[in-house]
Structure 1
Amino acid sequence: MLGSTAVLDVTALTGHAEPAVRDLYLPRVASGQLTMCNAMTEPYAPGSEPGLTTTRAVQESDGSRTVHGRKWFVTVPPGHLPGEAGRGLRVIAERVRLGRLLRCLRWLGQAERAFTLMRERARSRPASSGRLADLQLVQALVFDALLAIRTIRPLVFEAVALVEAGLDARVETGLAKVAAARMLHQVTDAAIQVHGAAGLGPDTPLPALFRTGRMARLLDGPDELHITAVARRILG
């Protein structure tokens, strides 16, 4: 079973690398012996607009390419260029689109974890008139968190099914990415609220999950990027 990052790397190599490069790297990536990276962001170019990157791979006389830019200087041996020269953004776009959905699936699992912790806390924590679970405002937090998870799950799975079928899923992926990020942020925030000060300490994974939920609204494109992109496709 491959982790989400390895899935992205294997998919990119399988679809765009030359046979010799696939034979050289695929087995090691799949086995976990080799880790690849996607150096897309730059200090002065927003990651949400990869077309603004200034780094360029210049072909040398021996067929290799030297990468010039703020990502340092990197030499790419001949035959190691994924895809056609000048079409690197398409390769990156494919990788990022799949990566967004893999993140959505992970966020669903993390939200489920936060929800479980919240439910257990509400059931076990005593209050002046019984348990936290008996308080209506706590019940409202639990209800809203569960509603968010159950609402977002089919949205994510719909996008996954379209990608698996090889169909255009750009609208569905944008919807799923924004919705899943907001959902994780909402659920982890509610879980911390039910835990009180204990939810901010090191004894539960909630602080880390909450940070992930906030970062989710920025990773692989901020919410605003996806909202605009989806709206433009719908409105024409």
Structure 2
Amino acid sequence: MASSLFPAEYLDARARYRAFMEEHVYPHEGAIGREDDAALALVDDLRGRARAARLWAPHVPPEAGGTGLGFLYYACLNEEIGRSTYAQLVFGCQAPDAGNAEILHLLGTDEQKERFLRPLVAGEVRSFFSMTEPEVSGSDPTLLRTRAVRDGDEWVIDGHKWFSSGAEGAGFAVVFAVSDPDAKPHRRGTMILVPVDTPGVEVVRPVPVLGHRGRGWSTHCEVTYTGVRVPVENTLGGEGDAFAIAQKRLGPGRIHHVMRWLGQMQRAFELMCRYANEREAFGGPLAEKQTVQNWIADSAAEIQACRLLTMDAAQKIDEGSEARVEVSLLKFYAARILCDVIDRAIQVHGARGLTDETPLAAMALQARGARIYDGPDEVHRMVVARRILRTFREGDGWAFS
């Protein structure tokens, strides 16, 4: 991405994040990755440094307690933040808290913002988004079974969720529950804010993913709700708005993921190129082998395509567009490129790439999930194709812009 596409203010901010990462994040990645008590204490210390450096919460604007200036600004920063899987935690912009903060800022009442948003953005509590259920397909929210029934001035919630990321140790959940099973499919659900200490909420277990259990913020939990009572005032948005709110949350959440993947891709690419120049085999450096050259050329083209797609979608969202086609297209394309670039970098490193001598193995472990969470690739391809084909049926055709 040519730097001229970013205002000088954005580039200056990105340089400050880069300097902070080099001084405080990269040297501590191994320690943070152990996720023990010492790691959590280290993260707290680094968070304090990030706040002092005015680098905290770049995903939300100052009126919500952050330092953000919009999606394009955040995309620009994430070419640095995204390079480390731990940096988002250090800067207070980790998933799922970032997405939850955005919908609370957009849709929360004044009381909800004071009770839930303010401490969330301040880093005083964590949250989770409780939508996916083990009994039904996670890619089709119209099938969800968790129920919320009105009883006077309270909701009574019963249900079973999993992949509620970050639920272990979190302060509250944003729960997608069916409040009117007889309504049209996309009007059946309501979003409800549920404090975790409410009787009937049980975080059953962290579900290990690819052999990784995680701790606290990095867990993916099974959660049950049994006769959970919360005030109707905890409704986020209006009754029946859950599907629309999920789209408002997951759309930006998807592009947030891709922003971070840009940093991952670029870091893997740099490691691949440096190692190809340094490592010799069969009479010369790996950089002279045609297969390696092809990998490097393909990766450069694909990363640049992802960057341009990301910045285009971010700018459209800043301008008020839903950009649903752009985000879906970007999500499935970037997820594949992320996996491909990291895989090529590992292959160039050989057995070293499978070890903790480089960040590549940890990056690969997380990258594979990119093709599934927030909607599998196949669903996003379907969304893109259906919307494009509809424009042709309506006589206008699809305009690339």
TM-score, normalised with respect to structure 1: 0.95
For residues 157-212 of structure 1, give each alpha carbon's deviation from its aligned partner in whole angstroms, at most 9, with x where no partner exists. Answer: 11111111111301100111011101101101100110111111222221221222
In 2: Cα distance, 1:171 partner to 1:78 partner? 34
- The aligned residue for residue 44 of structure 1 is 135
Shift of 1:22: 1.0
In 2: Cα distance, 1:55 partner to 1:223 partner? 25
Match of 1:116 among 257, 262, 270: 270
Letter in 1 for 2:353: G
In 2: Cα distance, 1:56 partner to 1:83 partner? 17
- The aligned residue for residue 190 of structure 1 is 344
Match of 1:64 among 140, 154, 173: 154
Match of 1:145 among 291, 299, 307: 299
- The aligned residue for residue 169 of structure 1 is 323
Alignment of 1:131-142 (within 5 A): 131-142=285-296
Asked if 1:30 corresponds to 2:136, the answer is: no
Higher strand proportion, which one?
2
Matched residues, number: 235
Alignment RMSD: 1.3
Q: Secondary structure at the match of 1:79?
A: helix
Structure with greater contact order relative to length (CA < 8 Å, sep ≥ 6): 1
Shift of 1:4: 4.5
Q: Is the 8 A contact 1:18 1:80 kept in 2?
A: no
The percent of aligned pairs where both chains have the same amino acid is 38
Match of 1:181 among 324, 335, 345: 335
Q: Is the 8 A contact 1:9 1:36 kept in 2?
A: yes
- The aligned residue for residue 248 of structure 2 is 94
For residues 61-111 of structure 1, give each alpha carbon's deviation from its aligned partner in whole angstroms, at most 9, with x where no partner exists. Answer: 2x1212111142233233111011122111111100010000000111111
Shift of 1:21: 1.2
In 1: Cα distance, 2:118 partner to 2:266 partner? 33
Q: Secondary structure at the match of 1:70?
A: strand
Shift of 1:150: 0.9
Structure 1 unmatched ranges of 5 or more: none
Structure 2 unmatched ranges of 5 or more: 1-55, 58-92, 162-223, 391-401
Moved more, 154-163 or 13-22: 13-22
In 2: Cα distance, 1:165 partner to 1:76 partner? 37
Asked if 1:54 corresponds to 2:208, the answer is: no
Q: Secondary structure at the match of 2:148?
A: strand
Q: Secondary structure at the match of 1:38?
A: strand
Q: Is the 8 A contact 1:4 1:102 kept in 2?
A: no
Change (3 A) 1:75 1:120: farther
Higher helix proportion, which one?
1
Letter in 1 for 2:154: S
In 2: Cα distance, 1:173 partner to 1:40 partner? 20
- The aligned residue for residue 239 of structure 2 is 85
In 2: Cα distance, 1:213 partner to 1:21 partner? 34
In 2: Cα distance, 1:46 partner to 1:100 partner? 19
In 2: Cα distance, 1:45 partner to 1:164 partner? 34
Asked if 1:7 corresponds to 2:98, the answer is: yes
Moved more, 98-107 or 85-94: 85-94
In 2: Cα distance, 1:109 partner to 1:77 partner? 42
